[in-house]
Amino acid sequence: MAHQCVDRAVGVTKRYDTLVTWLTLAPALALVGLIFGASVLYGLAQSLGYLAIIGETRLSLEAYSGLLAGRSPAGREFWQALGFSLWVSAASTVLAAGVALLLAVALSGQRRPVGGATLLALNLNLALPHLAWAIALSLLLAQSGLLARIATALGAIQAPAEFPVLVRDSYGIGIILHYVSKEIPFLALIVLAVLRTQGTAYELVAENLGANGWQRVRFVTLPLVLPGLAAGALLVFAFTFGAYEVPALLGVRYPRTLAVMALELFTNPDLRSRAEAMAISLLMALVVVGVAGLARVLNSEREGR
Amino acid sequence: MRRWSLFLLRATLYLLLLGPLAAFGLYGLSTRWFYPQLLPSEWTFEPLMRQLGSPLIQAALARSLVIAGLVTSLALLIGLPAARTLGLRRFRGRSLVLLLMFLPTVVPPLATGMGLNILFLQLGLAGSVAGVVLVHLVPVLPYTVFALLGVFARYDEGYEQQARTLGASWPLVLLRVTLPLAGPGLAVAALFAFLVSWSQYVLTLLIGGGRVITLPILLFSAVAGGNPTTTAILALLFAAPPILAIALASRALSGGATVVGQQY
């Protein structure tokens, strides 16, 4: 009898716990679930041609096939824009990850904690909004910008036209320069955080066992930071692939990234191009979620250790 | 040699930081600064004062602050209980909740905003501050939950139970135990929630529809307008609050409370 009572009490407490758990989660789940869910649903419907406002309620894969097979006017640009987006984000990610790794290893290789001033500098760079940094770059790197003036003063060039086209160029150099300089601090902070939690014990052991500087970096530091760095780099890739502001400010009209193309199609007065805009944005989201999901798996493996 | 390369690295780091500020200062505080002049020959505060006095810019500044403030408060209010549960409890469905929270942090705002455009028009939320706040919450709330999750993953409930055992009422526990323990992490989460909303352009554009004019919206149209002085001053107004905020929060940040996992 008493045994049953205890059992029932435990059962009640458990149910109460479950209730509290879901009650605390409910507002967040409702907000994200409803709004984000609605955006995916509405986006999908519109990409399939459903647009009740203009009386279009038939569903078709026209937007997708037009884009992927290159039949529609936008479709003729689609693959090129995809390639340009991939080029810009891949180049930015690889360069930023490489430099961030070098920076973090150099900064933490001095046997004492990385100074507060350096951390602050990294964090401040992170705090500068992308939009502001892109504008600064266009002021600094334009053909009559500050850098061109310095080059002129040094006698390296005589006229603005001799200065290389670094922003609004057709190779995406300006966009890549932007992302690399902005993402180095982001990735360096991730690497530094890993190095800080791991301490210097492994390095000391390796040194005692006769490893030289290069060997310590190659066989101790690199394996330690690689999962974190890779996860961070994938996030950088996902972000740069989907972002609109920077390619819009630092890119040219052609070639342009998928994000720029999608927003332009979306704001087109012809409402029918909305289906294509939505299809592009959903394809972009698919790529980004895939890449970021990979980063998540890497991250949980690292934390699971 | 090693010392020199390190010095060079540090110098580059600070240059990256000072570069944009120098650019905004040089272009914003000078007139008729033509190529190839290295430095402006005429300095003036006149454009700065004129911009600061402009009702349009003052309204945009206030609107940006109100929106980011509302978004931050709501994100903390809704995110705190959720993050506490996710950080301290293991229950069935937890990883599914985490996945749902993770998706909006990576899906491009462009996709979210374009998908919601028509729905918000139908609901009468498009073009209103309320609509913009709601849509900003889509990336900001999950991010706040993740930032606070880190705080609660290292949190020991035992302190609260001890205080309760010793007779403290729960408001007292909240005030004297929970908040001091979670305080720094909370501040950092709030700060970044504010920054993510403050810097948002695409979502404001797609849901605000040109009627909710925030600072980034003005900044973008200033770039299109092509006047470097105007652009530089607006960019300075836009960039200064985040930089000041991070500088003020540097203590909490250098404690390694969080690694910022968010782009904005």
Distance from CA of B64 to the nearest CA of A (A): 14
Most confident of A63-72, B162-171, B202-211: B202-211
Residue B111 has pLDDT above 90, yes or no: yes
For A147-192, what is each residue's pLDDT tens digit?
Answer: 888 888 888 898 888 899 888 899 999 999 999 999 998 898 888 8
* Closest alpha carbon to B132 in B61, B222, B209: B209
Between chains, do A107 and B9 touch, taking CB under 8 Å as contact? yes
pLDDT in tens, A224-250: 888 889 989 998 999 999 999 999 999
| The predicted structure's pLDDT at residue B216 | 96
Q: Which of A15-19, A95-99, B42-46, B152-156 has the highest mean predicted lDDT (pLDDT)? A: A95-99
Say whether pLDDT at B262 is over 60: no
Residue B263: is its pLDDT beyond 70?
no
**pLDDT computed for residue A303 by the predictor:** 58
Nearest CA in chain B to A235: B106
pLDDT greater than 50 at residue A305: no
Cβ of B253 within 8 Å of Cβ of A119? The answer is yes
By Cβ distance, the residue of A17, A127, A243 closest to B246 is A127
Q: Please name the member of A124, A140, A235 whose beta carbon is closest to the beta carbon of B23.
A: A140
Which residues of chain B neighbour A244 with C-beta distances below 8 Å?
A: 108-110, 201-202
Is B82 in contact with A29 (Cβ distance < 8 A)? yes
Instruction: B216-224: list long-range contacts, CB under 8 Å, 24+ apart.
Output: B216/A129, B216/A131, B216/B64, B217/B60, B218/B56, B218/B57, B218/B60, B219/A131, B219/A132, B219/A135, B220/A131, B220/A245, B220/A249, B223/A135, B223/A138, B223/A249
Q: Which of A36, A41, A148 sits opposite B138 (nearest CB)?
A: A36
pLDDT in tens, B196-220: 999 999 999 999 988 999 999 999 9
Give yes or no for residue B120 having a pLDDT over 90.
yes
Q: Which of A194-203, B32-41, B82-91, B235-244 has the lowest mean pLDDT?
A: A194-203
Question: Residue A124 is nearest to which of B10, B17, B228, comparing CB atoms?
Answer: B17
- Asked if A42 lies within 8 A of B202 by C-beta distance, the reply is no
pLDDT > 90: what percent of chain B? 49
Least confident piece of the model among A121-130, A275-284, A292-301, B255-264: B255-264
Q: Look at A39 and B116 and tell me if their CB atoms are within 8 Å.
A: yes
Q: Which tokens is B116 given?
A: 């919601």
Q: Quick one: pLDDT at residue A126?
A: 82
B135 interaction partners in chain A (CB closer than 8 Å): 35
The more confident residue out of A117 and A1 is A117
pTM of the model: 0.90
Model pLDDT for residues B220-252, shown as the tens digit of each residue = 999 998 888 999 999 999 999 888 888 887 766
B99: pLDDT strictly greater than 70: yes
Mean per-residue pLDDT over chain B, rounded:
88
| Beta bridge pairs of residue A51 | A56
CB pairs under 8 A between A and B: 254
CB contacts, 8 Å: A110 with chain B: 6
ipTM of the complex: 0.89
- What is the structure's pLDDT at B258? 45
Of the pLDDT bands very low, low, confident and very high (cuts 50, 70, 90), residue B254 is low
Give mean pLDDT, residues A241-264: 94
* Residues of chain B contacting residue A32, judged by C-beta atoms under 8 Å apart: 100-101, 104, 138, 141-142
Alpha carbon of A209: minimum distance to chain B alpha carbons (Å): 23
On the question of pLDDT at A113 being above 90, the answer is no
Most B CBs within 10 A among A19, A20, A31, hence the mutation to make, goes to: A31
Mutate to test the interface with B, among A122, A137, A245, A253 (most CBs of B within 10 A): A245
Indicate if the pLDDT at residue B259 is higher than 80.
no
Assign B42 to helix, strand or coil: coil
Mean of pLDDT values over B27-44: 85
Q: pLDDT category, A13, cuts 50, 70, 90?
A: confident
Following DSSP, what letter does each residue of chain A receive, concatenated? -HHHHHHHHHHHHHHHHHHHHHHHHHHHHHHIIIIIHHHHHHHHHHHTT-BGGGTB----SHHHHHHHTT-STTHHHHHHHHHHHHHHHHHHHHHHHHHHHHHHHHHHTTSSPPPHHHHHHHHHHHHS-HHHHHHHHHHHHSTTSHHHHHHHHTTS-SSGGGS---SS-TT-HHHHHHHHHHHHHHHHHHHHHHHHHH-SHHHHHHHHTT--HHHHIIIIIHHHHHHHHHHHHHHHHHHHHH--HHHHHHS-SSS--HHHHHHHHHT-SSTTHHHHHHHHHHHHHHHHHHHHHHHHHHHHHHHH-
pLDDT at residue A79 tops 50 = yes
Transcribe B45-69 into DSSP letters: SHHHHHHHH-HHHHHHHHHHHHHHH
Query: What pLDDT score was predicted for residue B256?
Result: 47
Tell me which chain B residues have a C-beta less than 8 angstroms from the C-beta of A31.
Answer: 78, 137-138, 141
B22, A31: Cβ pair inside 8 Å? Answer: no
Amino acid found at B94: R
Q: Which residues of A touch B206 (CB under 8 A)?
A: 266
Q: Is the pLDDT of residue A265 over 90?
A: yes
Please answer yes or no on whether A21 and B243 come within 8 Å at the CB atom.
no
pLDDT confidence bin for B10, thresholds 50/70/90: confident
Please state, in angstroms and rounded to a whole number, the distance separating the CA atoms of residues B145 and B258: 13
pLDDT at A31: 95
Handedness of CA B251, B256, B258, B263 (dihedral sign): positive
Mean pLDDT over B77-81 rounds to 94
